[in-house]
Structure 1
Amino acid sequence: MPDAPLRMAAVGLDHRHIYGQAGHMIAAGAELVCYWTEGQPETLPGFKKRFPDVPFQPLDDIFARADIDLILIAAIPADRAALAIQAMEAGKDVMVDKPGCTDMDQLHAIKDCVARTGRIWSVNFSERFEVPSVTKASALVAEGAIGRVAQTVGLGPHRLNRGTRPDWFFDRKQYGGILADIASHQIDQFLHFTGSTDAEITLARAGNYANPDDPGLQDFGQIVLQHGDCHGFIRVDWYTPDALPTWGDGRLTILGTEGTIELRKYVDIAGRPGTDHLFLVNGTKCEHMACRDVGLPYFPALIADIRDRTETAMAQSHAFKVMELALLAQRLAED
């Protein structure tokens, strides 16, 4: 008989990333059986629209259920670590929205809990795991299409959408800072594409240059990092202009010793329709690839990891290191 589907619950719906976490896991074969959230976050109607048959349950009841394998968490960032620890101590594996935590004490507590319980703590770095063009870029790099990776340049602009943002969005202690939050995506991609297991942060900056009435908001950040002869540059911001037809023109350029790959993940402002545009230039090719239909292997791999107790979706050490570096960059920017 085929294996029973993995069963999961959503805990904390404060960020709309929960839609992608749940939706992609369902597409990979998992079953969402219940949810809990505190209060009435702005995302709740959208969650109910997408998953109308999923009932609410009290948090303690969810953690007590023996038939739930995985907890999805997209709570207020400062609350995610405590919920993850509670879930793991109840015998559940965890997929948390980024940032997985907001300070080093939380990260240390998560590491201790993983070591003690043997549970999986996975962070859904959606700008890699939910982007088909990144899947294609990963395959090209692995094939040697651009030689050895020497640098990544990751750009993460976002639209502020002020009217839709809850109070915690403007509270530094609640969201963790722009580098710990948004730039964790680009740190993940640097480590992934360079094959690095660590990095040195050589520059970190964060500031508020356009929103003086919101002193808790950081609307600009940048990081320079290095590991051996691999280099990375990261810029993140909340400056996406209203005329852009999507929330941000996220880009990634991967410089290799024998070529380059550029990703225009969400829009091509040159006019090509749709998302997931990849441009490859090497010794024999100069071409555009449409990657919208390339798969998203993280989600089925996580299901397999939960079943087999493996680390094929993402190494546990990688999740820890990304958050460690993001938190270190945030601290350096604020010192």
Structure 2
Amino acid sequence: MNTQVQELVELLQVEQLEHNLFRGISGDIGSPRVFGGQVLGQALMAAALTVERDRSVHSLHAYFLRPGDKQAKIVYDVERIRDGGSFTTRRVVAIQHGQPIFNFAASFHVKEEGVSHQDPMPQVPPPDGLTSVHELRRQHFDKLPERLRAVLHAETAIDIRHCEPFNPLNPPPAGERAAVNNSWFRASDRLPDDPVLHQAMLAYSSDFGLLSAALLPHGLSFMNGSVQGVSLDHAMWFHDSFRMDDWLLYATNSPAANGARGFCRGSIYTQDGRLVASVAQEGLMRPQPPKPKPNS
């Protein structure tokens, strides 16, 4: 396992402090606050540690309440809402500096047989031959915000490849792109055979770029300062088994944006076309006035 993937695996682990209390460390992906996907993944790991291993998460729903402090550890307080014959429910509150920053609920289900159907996977280019987002950003290294440059010097733990690449510092003009953004992603090295870890890493990765689908039709980007953005809530449904070290297609779209908020949906497929998870998120997308150019 390469260093970056090993660090992500360790980041998603949580330390048990008490019967229902856990603690996680904070990572840095170059964002000004704790990355929302990190809190999602750690909260899921904390909840799963209180659940029998004969059942796995099938849905989670979360609200991001306050910006997370990257310099502080995060305490996860798990409430054992219900332990039923088939379903287990947990509520988790993430706390920093004595205040809740994140509220999370998850439901776990024993494996059962039943009928099956799914939407077909979109027709997109395969991941081989596509350029990774990491490499595309390296091509614009000198123009990136200072906080991102040090992060890009290291290889990333999640390899993301857009099916229709775009420059986040100079996105397509308003009206040129539809509210659709499809990409492939996977862990950049092999992972342990722990289904909970793969689910937590998928939750972590699902927060990467989902709101881009709402920005593309308007020619906006979080990276060039044209819009202020933050995840407000996040929901996921897990339909089938998968591995995060195999290629997964993240097919995303934005049905609506209004009132400085954008709503996005995502469907996650294996390379052979199985729909393994669905995602929904609303995020703040508040356009910012152009920055005045310095006098020449």
Please report the TM-score for the alignment, with normalisation by the length of structure 2: 0.32
Please give the TM-score of this superposition, normalised by the length of structure 1.
0.29
Q: Which has the higher helix share?
A: 1
